[in-house]
A and B are shown apart, each in its own frame.
Chain A
Amino acid sequence: KAGVTQTPRYLIKTRGQQVTLSCSPISGHRSVSWYQQTPGQGLQFLFEYFSETQRNKGNFPGRFSGRQFSNSRSEMNVSTLELGDSALYLCASSLDSPVYQPQHFGDGTRLSIL
């Protein structure tokens, strides 16, 4: 069974631009969560989608948004990029609720802002 796939693996952008990251969950998984990982703040929850609906949202500004498609694939978008947005963005999928079921992480998209 294929794991969680995130594309692209690496991305370089400049301040003020916007970016879209993609995540394909494990087949059959309907919940997709996004996390930001930085050396200083560690792993922080961005949002979770289930059946094309955002179920939960972390404490991030509105510049961070996401969506989920009918095939459970998900995208996250960051607008008006800031230097502090440089991070590893991780996507995780689970069968249903991510609370009690294992979350399977992809290898992330490394975003660098110049």
Chain B
Amino acid sequence: GAGVSQSPRYKVAKRGQDVALRCDPISGHVSLFWYQQALGQGPEFLTYFQNEAQLDKSGLPSDRFFAERPEGSVSTLKIQRTQQEDSAVYLCASSSYREVGHGYTFGSGTRLTVV
């Protein structure tokens, strides 16, 4: 596609519910990132894939967070047993480069509200 597509755009989850957030990167982009933006903060790194390999998951806040990119294209971020502190905008970004120093293309994000 022309850009990075994320779905759903908005998600309201009851505390304790599992959620799955989807990211469709630009076709052919090898690098894919997930970021979490809490209200009033800048985006914070969660995890990074190069093709299907998850090379860095140091930013995942707990073992309730899990990300996958099984075929090196679409990625899913799953949050189990959601808590109120998980409420945030989840941004996905992709890049055609493996190296740092190049701009990323971001999606519009998924706004998750846990009630």
Q: Do A and B come from one complex?
A: no
